[in-house]
């Protein structure tokens, strides 16, 4: 049977099921297939903090959304075209996001009386007319899988568990995905259980063949590869990119990396990833608590390592005193904050941009710290290298503000060659720097950068003591002199203010927009996608995105003042807006939503258009 | 490989070329403790002890937290890091774990180590990084002017406890043995010879060593250890711990109690064979723990010396071994290979 093939320019699929249904894995594999096919893509995993919430309930629903296209895209998509619902809870939890006319592929086997009752369905929605406005494909995924695996020597439970691979096979057929890598992946994942490996491959193939032969699906789709620039690509999540960026920073600085970290959602994957790369000389230390994590990193930095600590907001709160110690002892340190919804425990698996003011001001005393925020998952790589560059060059702790959306979302990444990466190496001080030629002054600064010398233990003749008590300029000896303290406070501030950061670039295709939409961090994708929509509709809007939150680019005041209106969407209650208003006296128009989710492009396009129309 | 470093705490630290003296270890900073403070005696003892180690001064680091004793690093002409309250073991752990060529000393007090930094202390002890922790125990908060500390006796009258403190104190030795520290010892500020002997063994131990030093605060808790210094009483209450020797003084002796723990009895009431012979290398920490309980109620009989010295591989060494093993198995890291790892595709 030859089926019709329909051309599409983009598709948004959401896989949804119980936490134990393997939806994240299914999504990851479909993403890998899509990446290797050459589409541009963007992903959004969304899962509960509970590892296994009660089966079949709404809180237990885990989902994975993937947007892929034949052109470059910026977000995981606002609304799915296809929902794969593995049970009634998954259908119920996601239906409100699904536009009329979208496809629903539902696992009919799970729509049992009991499962329907669990989520409050009186009638099976697959059987009444309630889903008439959608294109419903009711498929008995579980029983088809079990039937396909009859010949294998595995338990019924193991056979049922392979249903996600059946679904993946079906979707792979539906969108013409290459399957070799998935088969190889399954074989490797279950290498120690050959029967499970074989049965999962069989389930995957059965799903694929089902699509080809069943009459339930009369059309398959083709989405041509996107014309990306030449190079080697891989799909990468923000946490992975950040970890690889730290490895690269270690190589490019020629400093051994020491990671002191305590497990916390959503940052733990960085610890996991770095722990795999010991052959780069990377020491990963799972500390007893957040404070010990940053303390050990700072101790290692004193000894000449690239000290890093990775955490989320609650961890940053605990680390504050040690970061202050790093500020005053002027040692390089990277503090990675993968922001999550707060305050307190908040919603650990949900995203937010609410730690900006804490990163800047959450310490006692005048305690300036550079802050950098990556814009996309792959940008986490460059942001990590940049954070290391600043930390090393200026001998300062640097805050790197990622977030849950970047951490777990993924996109294709054009892999850089090592030769393209900046050299961020540093010379330790090895000789006395006093005018007399014999004394060492640990707080005598570089005239240009104001950085102090980094002389590490083991260097003869430069024995010195540093600490949290105020230090005399130059000698570093304890000093309570009022004028010295005033000087040191100002010197530390001037050092951070003087950090070389690139100018803020403005994207304004026509050059005559009167409205600027500004953003920082992970809102880049939705804001840029929204700006495109507005421009397609004839609206004029300029876009700029801040990567350096402290210090700001030197031209930012000028940029802000050259537009009639500045719109600033943030996933907080206006933290950057507060700073910009205070520093530049610009009447920023804030747009704030704090729902634990990224903005939608459509939503922001509406907001931008409103601001344009109000001109 | 780990085995060969047992008892060689300084094996990886470069040796000094010339002979060193006490003067080499004195910094140019004026010492600013209260006149009569026990810290002076400990500083002088440490400064006079360091040359004996024969290691490069520049490979020696003193790390401290907050409190009177934590000013110590400023007075040592070595590398030093005066950090924040309670965190010295964590900071020293990062330093020692990444720099096995350093001799790292942590200077802390009873409040710093046992109250605000209690968590870091117990984890440092169980982890066994190559550190020497000197815990100056004066049983009071000095720098904040006289509040009771986690080692103050119950009922302590201080500014924060005008009707007496309510909480039971920690016994630092019991705590350290409970955390399975490899090396645990107690000494006293006024006995330089004994202090030296304990520091010598602590430095030789590869792993975390905890040395509790009874230190007199003559301002806020004067004479806290007077009985141990009083010529009439000290020989009666002090029980010197020496490996291979019976645990006894002229009048008292330690034996295994019928209830299973240890007890102190009049020496002449038992036969010499009944006196417990001290074995610092006993891998079972039970007797060391029981010994640490002998000064309950406080100061009737106080064991002084090394309670326990048991070798096990140090954390920093195991960590280095994993790095070496990773290189041996798969070769040194290649950044291009790493970045291009995983599922990649090429666009021409």
Q: Which helix (H) or strand (E) holds A12?
A: strand A10-18
DSSP state letter for A46: E
- Report how far apart the first and last C-alpha atoms of chain A are (Å, whole number): 58
Strand-pairing partners, residue A546, are A520
Q: Identify whether A442 is part of a domain.
A: no
Same structural domain for residues A79 and A217?
A: yes
CB contacts of A235 in chain B (<8 Å) are: 342-343
Domain end (from A395, A420, A445): A420
Query: 3-state class of B76 per DSSP?
Result: strand
CB contact under 8 A, B97 and A296: yes
CB A547 within 8 A of CB A374: yes
Nearest CA in chain A to B17: A460
Which fold does the domain B3-239 belong to in CATH?
Rossmann fold (3.40.50)
Task: Using the 3D structure, point to which of A222, A246, A281 is the last residue of a domain.
Answer: A222
Average pLDDT over residues B121-144: 97
Helix crossing, A524-536 with A601-613: angle to 10°?
60
Binned at pLDDT 50, 70 and 90, residue B2 comes out as: very low
> Which residue of chain A comes nearest to B123, CA vs CA?
A288
Tokens of A252: 């490019």
Tell me which of A420, A451, A468 is where a domain ends: A420
**Domain limits for position A579:** 506-613
The DSSP bridge partners found for residue B337 are: none
The answer to whether A300 contacts B29, with C-beta atoms less than 8 Å apart, is: no
Asked if B83's CB is within 8 angstroms of A230's CB, the reply is no
- Edge-to-edge order in the sheet of strand A506-507: A506-507, A542-546, A515-520, A565-570, A589-592
Asked whether residue A569 is domain-assigned, the answer is: yes
Cβ atoms B132, B209 nearer than 8 A? yes
Pairing of strands A515-520, A542-546: parallel
The verdict on a CB contact (< 8 Å) between B90 and A291 is yes
In sequence order, the β-bridge partners of residue A443 are A474
- Alpha helices (H) in A124-266, listed in sequence order: 141-148, 156-161, 163-174, 180-189, 194-213, 238-253
* Residue appearing with tokens 């002409």: B77
Report d(CA B42, CA B189) in Å as an integer.
6
pLDDT digits (tens, 9 = 90+) for B283-316: 999 999 999 999 877 788 999 999 999 999 999 9
Phi, psi of A84 (to 5 degrees): -100, 115
For residue A125 the two structure tokens come to 């929605």
ipTM: 0.97
- Hey, what are A416's tokens? 């850089």
Average pLDDT of span B214-241: 94
Let me know if residue A92 belongs to a domain: yes
- Most B-contacting residue of A179, A280, A282, A295 (CB-CB within 10 A), to test interface: A295
Residues A86 and A205 in one domain: yes
Q: What is the DSSP string of A251-268?
A: HHHT--EEEEE---TTTH
Q: Does residue A133 belong to the interface with chain B, where contact is any CB pair within 8 Å?
A: no
The verdict on a CB contact (< 8 Å) between A278 and B322 is yes
Question: Which residues are A292's β-sheet partners?
Answer: none
**Nearest-CA distance A459 → chain B (Å):** 6
Q: Which segments within A404-559 are labelled E, that is strand?
A: 410-414, 465-467, 506-507, 515-520, 542-546, 548-550
Residue ranges of chain A with pLDDT lower than 70?
1-2
pLDDT of B343 over the 70 cut:
yes
Same domain? A209 vs A244: no
**Would the CB atoms of B93 and A299 count as touching at under 8 Å?**
yes
- Is A280 in CB contact (< 8 Å) with chain B? yes
Q: How confident is the model at residue B18 (pLDDT cuts 50, 70, 90)?
A: very high
- Whether the CB of B123 is below 8 Å from some CB of chain A: the reply is yes
CB atoms within 10 A of CB A229: 8
A205 & A240 share domain: no
Q: How do residues B71-87 score in pLDDT, each as one tens digit?
A: 999 999 999 999 999 99
Q: Are residues A212 and A251 in the same domain?
A: no
Residue A339: strand pairing partners: A403
> Exposed (0-12), middle (13-18) or buried (19+): which is A60, by Cβ within 10 Å?
buried
Query: CB-CB: which of B58, B83, B326 is closest to A459?
Result: B58
**Residue A387: inside a domain, yes or no?**
yes
Cross-chain CB nearest to A291 (options B87, B99, B339)? B87
- The reply to whether residue B80 touches residue A466, judged by beta carbons under 8 angstroms, is yes
Beta bridge partners of B304: B240
Q: Given the DSSP bridges, would you call strands B183-188 and B302-309 parallel, antiparallel or unpaired?
A: antiparallel
CA–CA separation, A298 and A290 (whole Å): 13
pLDDT at B267 over 60: yes
CA distances from A483 to A321, A445, A489 (A): 24, 18, 10
One domain for residues A202 and A240: no
Tell me the nearest-neighbour CA distance from A594 into chain B, angstroms.
Answer: 35
How far apart CA A466 and CA A483 sit, in angstroms, is 20
Yes or no: say if A541 and A509 are a contact pair by the CB < 8 Å rule: no
Q: Does A256 contact B347 at a Cβ distance shorter than 8 Å?
A: no
* A228, A258, A278 ranked by CB distance to B326: nearest: A278
CA dist list (Å): A113 to A117, A123, A125, A132, A229: 6, 9, 11, 21, 52
Query: Is B323's Cβ below 8 Å from some Cβ in A?
Result: yes
Return the bridge partners of A154, or none.
none
Q: To 5 degrees, how large is the angle CA A135–CA A139–CA A144?
A: 160
| Dihedral sign computed on CA atoms, order A408, A414, A417, A421 | negative
Considering only CB atoms, B343 lies closest to which of A35, A291, A416, namely A35
Tokens for B229?
């210094």
Whether residue B91 lies within 8 A of chain A, CB to CB, comes out as yes
Beta strand A219-222 with A103-107: parallel, antiparallel or unpaired? unpaired
Clarify whether residues A195 and A46 are in a common domain: yes
pLDDT for residue B3: 52
- CA A380, CA A545: separation in Å to the nearest integer? 15
Q: ∠A69-A72-A78 over CA atoms, to 5°?
A: 65
Contact between chains at B91 and A298 (C-beta distance less than 8 A): yes
Q: What residues of A are in contact with residue B59 (Cβ under 8 Å)?
A: 457-458
Residues A319 and A405 grouped into a single domain? yes
Do A213 and A248 reside in the same domain of the chain?
no
User: In chain A, which residues have their Cβ closer than 8 Å to the Cβ of B329?
Assistant: 279
What residues of chain B, 301 to 320, have a C-beta less than 8 Å from chain A? 319
- Is B194 in CB contact (< 8 Å) with chain A? no
Q: Are residues A213 and A330 in the same domain?
A: no
Residue A477 lies in a domain: no
Residues of chain B neighbouring A278 (CB-CB closer than 8 A) = 322-323, 325-327
Number of inter-chain CB pairs under 8 A, A vs B? 206
CATH of the domain at A518: 3.40.50.920
Residue labelled with tokens 């008439």 = A132
Cβ pair B343:A38 closer than 8 A: no
Structurally, chain A folds into a number of domains equal to 3
Q: What gap in Å lies between CA A227 and CA A321, rounded to an integer?
A: 49
Residue A453, φ and ψ in degrees, nearest 5: -65, 145
A178 close to B (CB below 8 A): no
DSSP structure string for B27-46? -SSPP-SPTT-HHHHHHHHH
* A453 within domain boundaries: no
How do beta strands B60-64 and B79-82 pair? parallel
Domain assignment present for A326: yes
Distance from CA of B243 to the nearest CA of A (A): 34
Are A545 and A578 part of one and the same domain? yes
Confidence at residue B1, expressed as pLDDT on a 0 to 100 scale: 43
Under 8 Å between Cβ of B62 and B73: yes
Q: Does one domain contain both A215 and A339?
A: no
A contact test, residue of B59, B71, B91 with most A CBs within 10 A? B91
């Amino acid at each position: 049977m030859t089926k019709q093939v329909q051309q599409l320019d983009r598709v948004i699929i959401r896989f949804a099921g119980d936490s134990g249904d393997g939806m994240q894995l299914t999504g990851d594999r479909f993403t890998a297939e899509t990446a290797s096919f050459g589409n541009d893509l963007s992903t959004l995993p969304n899962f509960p903090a509970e590892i296994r919430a009660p089966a079949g309930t709404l809180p237990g629903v885990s989902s994975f959304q993937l947007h892929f296209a034949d052109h470059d895209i910026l977000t995981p998509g606002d609304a799915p075209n296809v929902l794969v619902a593995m049970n009634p809870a998954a259908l119920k939890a996601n239906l409100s996001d699904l536009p009329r006319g979208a496809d629903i592929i539902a696992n009919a086997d799970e729509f049992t009386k009991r499962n329907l009752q669990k989520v409050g369905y009186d009638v099976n929605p697959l059987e009444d007319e309630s889903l008439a406005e959608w294109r419903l494909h009711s498929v008995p995924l579980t029983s088809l899988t079990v039937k396909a695996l009859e010949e294998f020597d595995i338990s019924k439970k193991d056979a049922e568990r392979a249903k996600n691979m059946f679904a993946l096979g079906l979707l792979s057929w539906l969108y013409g995905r290459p399957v070799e890598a998935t088969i190889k992946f399954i074989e490797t994942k279950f290498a120690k259980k050959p029967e499970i490996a074989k049965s999962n491959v069989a389930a995957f193939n059965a799903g694929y063949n089902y699509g080809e032969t069943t009459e339930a699906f009369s059309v398959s789709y083709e989405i041509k590869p996107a014309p990306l620039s030449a190079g080697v690509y891989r799909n990468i999540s923000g946490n992975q990119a950040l970890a690889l960026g730290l490895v690269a920073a270690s190589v490019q600085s020629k400093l051994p990396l020491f990671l002191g970290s305590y497990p916390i959602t959503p940052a733990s994957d960085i610890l996991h990833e770095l722990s795999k790369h010991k052959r780069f000389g990377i020491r990963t230390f799972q500390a007893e608590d957040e404070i010990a994590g940053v303390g050990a990193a700072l101790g290692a930095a004193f000894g000449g390592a690239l000290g890093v600590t990775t955490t989320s907001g609650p961890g940053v709160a605990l680390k504050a005193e040690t970061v202050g110690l790093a500020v005053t002892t002027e040692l390089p340190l990277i503090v990675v904050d993968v922001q999550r919804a707060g305050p307190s425990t908040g919603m650990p698996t949900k995203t937010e941009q609410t730690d900006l003011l804490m990163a800047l001001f959450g310490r006692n005393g005048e305690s300036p710290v550079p802050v950098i925020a990556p814009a996309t998952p792959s940008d986490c790589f460059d942001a990590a290298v940049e954070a290391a560059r600043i930390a090393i060059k200026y001998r300062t702790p640097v805050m790197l503000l990622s977030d849950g959306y970047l951490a777990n979302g993924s996109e294709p990444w054009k892999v850089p060659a090592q030769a393209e990466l900046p050299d961020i190496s540093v010379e330790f001080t090895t000789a006395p720097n006093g005018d007399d030629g014999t004394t060492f002054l640990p707080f005598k600064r570089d005239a240009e950068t104001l950085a102090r010398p980094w002389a590490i233990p083991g260097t003869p003749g430069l024995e010195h003591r540093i600490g949290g008590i105020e230090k005399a300029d130059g000698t570093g000896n304890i000093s309570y002199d009022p004028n010295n303290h005033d000087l040191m406070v100002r010197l530390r501030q001037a050092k951070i203010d003087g950090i070389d950061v690139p100018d803020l670039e403005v994207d304004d295709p026509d050059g005559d927009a009167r409205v600027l939409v500004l953003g920082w961090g992970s809102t880049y994708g939705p804001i840029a996608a929204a700006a495109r929509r507005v421009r397609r509709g004839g609206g004029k809007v300029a876009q700029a995105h801040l990567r350096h939150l402290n210090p700001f680019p030197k031209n930012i005041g000028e940029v802000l003042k050259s537009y009639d209106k500045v719109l600033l969407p943030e996933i907080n209650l206006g933290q950057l807006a507060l700073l910009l208003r205070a520093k530049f006296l610009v009447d920023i128009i804030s747009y704030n939503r704090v729902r634990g989710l990224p903005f939608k492009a459509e939503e922001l396009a509406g907001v931008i258009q409103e601001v344009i129309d109000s001109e | 490989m780990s085995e060969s470093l047992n008892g060689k705490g300084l094996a990886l630290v470069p040796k000094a070329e010339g002979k060193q003296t006490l003067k080499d270890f004195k910094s140019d900073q004026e010492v600013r403790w209260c006149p009569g403070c026990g810290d002076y005696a400990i500083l002088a003892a440490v400064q006079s002890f360091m040359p004996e180690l024969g290691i490069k001064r520049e490979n020696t680091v003193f790390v401290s937290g907050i409190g009177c004793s934590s000013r110590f690093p400023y007075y040592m002409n070595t590398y030093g890091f005066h950090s924040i309250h309670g965190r010295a073991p964590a900071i020293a752990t990062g330093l020692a774990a990444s720099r096995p060529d350093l001799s790292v000393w942590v200077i802390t007090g009873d409040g710093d180590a046992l109250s605000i930094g209690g968590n870091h202390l117990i984890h440092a002890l169980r982890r066994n990084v190559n550190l020497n922790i000197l815990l100056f125990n004066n049983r009071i908060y000095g720098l904040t002017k006289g509040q009771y500390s986690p080692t103050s006796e119950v009922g302590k009258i201080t500014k924060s406890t005008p009707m007496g403190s309510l909480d039971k104190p920690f016994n630092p030795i019991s705590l350290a043995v409970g955390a399975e520290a490899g090396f645990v010892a107690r000494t006293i500020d006024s006995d330089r010879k004994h202090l030296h002997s304990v520091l010598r063994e602590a430095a030789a131990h590869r792993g975390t060593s905890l040395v509790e030093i009874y230190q007199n605060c003559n301002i806020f808790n004067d004479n806290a250890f007077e009985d141990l210094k009083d010529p009439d009483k000290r020989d009666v209450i002090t029980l010197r711990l020496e490996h291979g020797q019976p645990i006894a003084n002229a009048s008292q002796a330690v034996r295994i109690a019928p209830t299973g723990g240890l007890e102190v009895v009049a020496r002449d009431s038992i036969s010499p064979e009944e006196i417990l012979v001290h074995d610092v290398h006993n891998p079972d920490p039970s007797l060391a723990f029981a010994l640490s309980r002998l000064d309950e109620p406080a100061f009737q009989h106080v064991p002084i010396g090394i309670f326990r010295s048991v070798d096990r591989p140090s954390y920093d060494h195991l960590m280095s071994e994993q790095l070496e093993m990773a290189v041996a198995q798969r070769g040194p890291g290649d950044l291009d290979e790493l970045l291009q790892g995983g599922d990649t595709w090429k666009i021409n």
